[in-house]
Amino acid sequence: MKPVKKAVLPVAGFGTRVLPATKTVPKEMLTVVDRPALQYVVDEAIEAGIEHFVFVTARGKNAIEDYFDSAYELEDSLRRKGKTVIYDELKAKQPREGTMSFVRQQEAKGLGHAVWCARDIIGDEPFAVLLPDVLIQTDVRSCLAQMMDAYNKVGGNIIAVDPVPDERVSSYGVIKPRAGANPKTQSLIAMDGMVEKPALKDAPSNLKITGRYILQPELMGLLKDQEAGAGGEIQLTDAMARLMTSQDFHALVYEGQDYDCGSKLGYFEAVMAFAQTHSEISEGARDLIKASAADLS
């Protein structure tokens, strides 16, 4: 079984749900406490053993590339002022040279098309996909690290899932567990299908695809000629459903909580959640949240 060392992060989207902020700031760069949302996703992947990141970007997203570069003037100024702790923290987050690639998605044709844009760098290795809109907080190993554990047991393709209430099913990709699989008692479930944004009456389960994937490279060949699906876009879910006819797919009901930072309320929730676990401000953040809850009641 080939190890998973590369990850694709599609960051080309406009972020229309959080305008006007995203008119000039890529949505992935919106600050959650003291770092861009994207940093949490990169950290999640590093914890899982990812060594190379492929960002699928677009026009107006240069801030992402700059963020992962060294910032000479800033670093020099910190050094000269003796702010060594801040300097060291900054340098510790800087990726090693050559471990990040940036490719452009020239037209917004959908998530499947965005992933396909990374094909030359992925080559014939299995790879992870992390949707940076989604932040996942856990008390245990990171979501992708949990998926790697599952991959090391069963191989093939692994999709992170979690249950959603019926009224939200049509906003997501939804999986079809194999007959006899019980998501209430099993965390790793064999799958028989998946469908993108089904009407509730057609949904094969209420297990939504969360935005973390471990995929085999054969998927890229299918994405090449994948036709547009839900919303007129080339959907990753449709290509995965085709790959499922020849390869195993398992869904992992991971431990953790996801936050949709592409929406206003999800972003607000993420800020509250990560503030409460932040090494410097957790106590103060909890006090503030408690006080404001008491005010509201």
State the residues that interact with ligand G1P by CB under 6 A.
111, 131, 134, 172-173, 196, 208-211, 235-237
- Residue 71 beta carbon to ligand G1P: minimum distance, rounded to whole angstroms: 31
Put residue 9 in one of left, alpha, beta given phi > 0 → left and psi -120 to 50 → alpha.
beta
- Residue 90 beta carbon to ligand G1P: minimum distance, rounded to whole angstroms: 30
Amino acid code (one letter) for 103: V
Q: Which is nearer to ligand G1P, 53 or 259 (CB)?
A: 259
Amino acid code (one letter) for 53: F
Structure tokens at 51: 């060594």
- Residue 176 beta carbon to ligand G1P: minimum distance, rounded to whole angstroms: 13
Q: Which is nearer to ligand G1P, 122 or 194 (CB)?
A: 194
Residue matched to tokens 């800087």: 94
Q: In terms of Cα–Cα distance, which of 172, 233, 240, 179 is closest to 206? A: 172
User: Residue 29: how many CB atoms within 10 A of its CB?
Assistant: 22
In degrees and rounded to multiples of 5, residue 193 shows phi and psi of 180, 175
The set of residues, in sequence order, having a beta carbon less than 8 Å from that of 25 and lying 6+ positions away, is: 63
- Residue 161 beta carbon to ligand G1P: minimum distance, rounded to whole angstroms: 9
Q: Which is nearer to ligand G1P, 58 or 111 (CB)?
A: 111
What string of DSSP letters covers 216-235? Answer: -THHHHHHHTPPB-GGGSB-
- Residue 283 beta carbon to ligand G1P: minimum distance, rounded to whole angstroms: 32
Q: Which is nearer to ligand G1P, 216 or 235 (CB)?
A: 235
Residue matched to tokens 């939804």: 174
Q: Which residue is nearest to ligand G1P (CB)?
A: 173
Angle between helices 84-92 and 72-80 (to 10 degrees): 150
- Strands 173-177, 31-32: pairing kind: unpaired
- Residue 218 beta carbon to ligand G1P: minimum distance, rounded to whole angstroms: 19
Q: Which is nearer to ligand G1P, 42 or 285 (CB)?
A: 42
Residue matched to tokens 């998926």: 147
Q: Which is nearer to ligand G1P, 32 or 209 (CB)?
A: 209
